[in-house]
Amino acid sequence: MRKSHRREPGVAHPRRARNALVATGIVGATVAVGSAASDPTSQWYVALDKPAWQPPGYVFPIAWTTLYTSIAVASAAVLNELEARGDTFGARTFGVALVRNQALNAFWSWVFFRWHNLPAATLAAAALALSSLGLARRAGRVDPKLGALLAPYAGWTTFATVLSAAVWRRNP
């Protein structure tokens, strides 16, 4: 008789808490590293010529808090589901993709706010948007609802790429 890798309904996966801590830790590290570089009140940032369609400053912390929460929740759920299926390779590769994505996320803050390199920040934002789309697709292959939960992140990072490019064009 073949042993099923699916968990029985109502039975918690033994690594559920660990996966929640891992996903939250990765996202939390991104927040800490990115926040260390970000200063939207700096003289340099305030002096930039920004497009009229840039959202007001108060939108960014609300959007990012919501997005970071959804990244942690969706990632933990993806890891839980893959491990419940017995797909340790899939869980490992998703975890690597998450770490790479979050490293790009934090890196952008350093390139833009700390190093003031607008061309590189635009390229980093594009790489982040592609990575975010890939992460949402990976999650969606596990469960379409989890992919949908990450879709706003992919959308926001795509918008951030367009915004970074606009700021670069306005501030050569």
Please report the pLDDT score of residue 4 as a whole number. 46
**Structural domain includes residue 5:** no
Q: What are 64's two structure tokens?
A: 């990012």
CATH, residue 106: 1.20.1260.100
Span 5-47, pLDDT tens digits: 555 555 555 689 999 999 999 999 999 999 999 999 999 999 9
Provide the domain count of the chain: 1
Span 106-154, pLDDT tens digits: 999 999 999 999 999 999 999 999 999 999 999 999 999 999 999 999 9
Domain that holds residue 111: 16-41+56-170
